[in-house]
């Protein structure tokens, strides 16, 4: 979809404007609604994506693919139950790379692979750390409930400063090496400023939901539809939703059960993010393979 970033900018500012009208409770409810719709939906079609990735398309049956996927999700849940400290760290690392990969997928052809991976990871980490630093108390409580560890304010600040320096240094290098990337780099610094304002002005869930849905989930859905159909259209979007429906519903049922078991807000937030992490692990791997498949298609056309 052309010019989607312009739509996302306008929608983000609209979300900022809504801050003054929504109470914290309504922001939380609205945020979860966004996450439960587009946020969960963008990861609900992973099995269909796997079937269309060339490297596994002919070698795995649908049932076998489903089995692998369920095993990975259950392993993620088991990790949070047995060694939550390691699981939480892995979730942050995977999420940071996943966010950065979505935003910087077109770097694949211009720079060494190791540099691309580091840059994508650092970009996503900066976004997460901006969110964390503007909501330290809530984030510390969630970490305490998930992993039973207490992290001081200074650690978040130091890691953000170090990550910011690395990101600026890598951005300066990329700006110097490639003219093609310069306009996008300037735009991304503007987006980071927008995210910082959004995170500072909003509650944790509302700010995260606006970023997660507008800047990650919807662009990912658009990319997935293009991968599956060759282009994006409303017709293809409805077909995508139909194909994802059953898996989206199962995810919602799981989250609903978590809510009714643990209605206390901090505990629910902790379990919710644990559940989100468990389904993020396989989803991030699928999207990485999808982008590699796109890259192979481009190279084959050029050849």
Among 152-161, 228-237, 254-263, which stretch is predicted with the lowest mean pLDDT? 254-263
Cβ contact 119:301 at 8 Å: no
The DSSP symbol for 22 reads S
Is pLDDT at 179 greater than 80 in this prediction?
yes
Q: How far is CA 60 from the centre of its chain?
A: 27
Cβ contact 253:266 at 8 Å: no
Calculate the average pLDDT of the chain. 83
Percent of the residues in the chain that have a pLDDT greater than 90, as a whole number: 35
pLDDT band at 61 (very low <50, low <70, confident <90, very high): low
Cβ-Cβ contacts under 8 Å for 168 (sequence gap 6 or more): none
94-153 pLDDT tens trace: 999 999 999 888 775 668 888 999 999 999 999 999 999 999 999 998 888 878 888 888
> Given this model, what pLDDT does residue 108 score?
59
Distance set, CA 61 to CA 64, 225, 245 (Å): 5, 22, 21
Structural domain boundaries in the chain = 4-298
d(CA 54, CA 294): 10
For residue 84, give both structure tokens: 């939550």
Computed from CA positions of residues 212, 216, 219, 225, in that sequence, does the dihedral angle turn out positive or negative?
Answer: negative
CB atoms under 10 Å from CB of 300, counted, come to 8
d(CA 21, CA 130): 24
* Longest alpha-carbon distance in the chain: 58
Distance set, CA 300 to CA 258, 294, 303 (Å): 46, 10, 5
Query: Residue 273's closest CA among 139, 100, 177, 175?
Result: 139
């Amino acid at each position: 979809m052309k010019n989607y970033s312009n739509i996302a900018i306008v929608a983000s500012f609209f979300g900022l404007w809504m801050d003054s009208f929504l109470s914290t409770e309504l922001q939380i409810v609205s945020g979860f609604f966004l996450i439960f719709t587009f946020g969960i939906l963008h990861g609900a079609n992973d099995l269909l994506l796997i079937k269309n990735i060339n490297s596994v398309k002919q070698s795995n049956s649908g049932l076998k693919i489903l089995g692998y996927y369920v095993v990975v999700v259950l392993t993620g849940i088991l990790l949070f139950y047995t060694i939550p400290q390691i699981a939480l760290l892995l979730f942050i690392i995977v999420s940071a790379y996943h966010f950065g990969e979505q935003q910087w997928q077109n770097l694949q052809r211009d720079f060494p692979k190791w540099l691309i991976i580091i840059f994508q990871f650092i970009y996503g980490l900066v976004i997460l750390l901006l969110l964390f630093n503007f909501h330290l108390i809530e984030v510390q409580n969630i970490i305490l409930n998930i992993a039973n560890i207490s992290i001081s304010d200074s650690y978040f600040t130091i890691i953000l400063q170090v990550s910011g320096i690395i990101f600026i240094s890598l951005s300066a290098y990329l700006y110097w090496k490639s003219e093609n990337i310069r306009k996008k780099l300037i735009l991304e610094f503007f987006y980071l400023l927008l995210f910082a304002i959004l995170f500072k002005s909003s509650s944790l869930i509302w700010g995260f939901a606006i970023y997660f849905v507008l800047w990650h989930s919807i662009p990912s859905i658009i990319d997935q539809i293009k991968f599956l159909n060759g282009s994006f259209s409303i017709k293809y979007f409805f077909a995508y939703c139909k194909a994802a429906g059953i898996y989206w519903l199962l995810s919602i049922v799981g989250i609903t059960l978590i809510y009714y078991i643990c209605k206390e807000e901090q505990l629910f937030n902790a379990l919710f993010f644990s559940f989100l992490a468990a389904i993020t692990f396989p989803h991030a791997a699928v999207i990485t393979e999808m982008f590699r498949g796109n890259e192979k298609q481009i190279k084959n056309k050029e050849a």
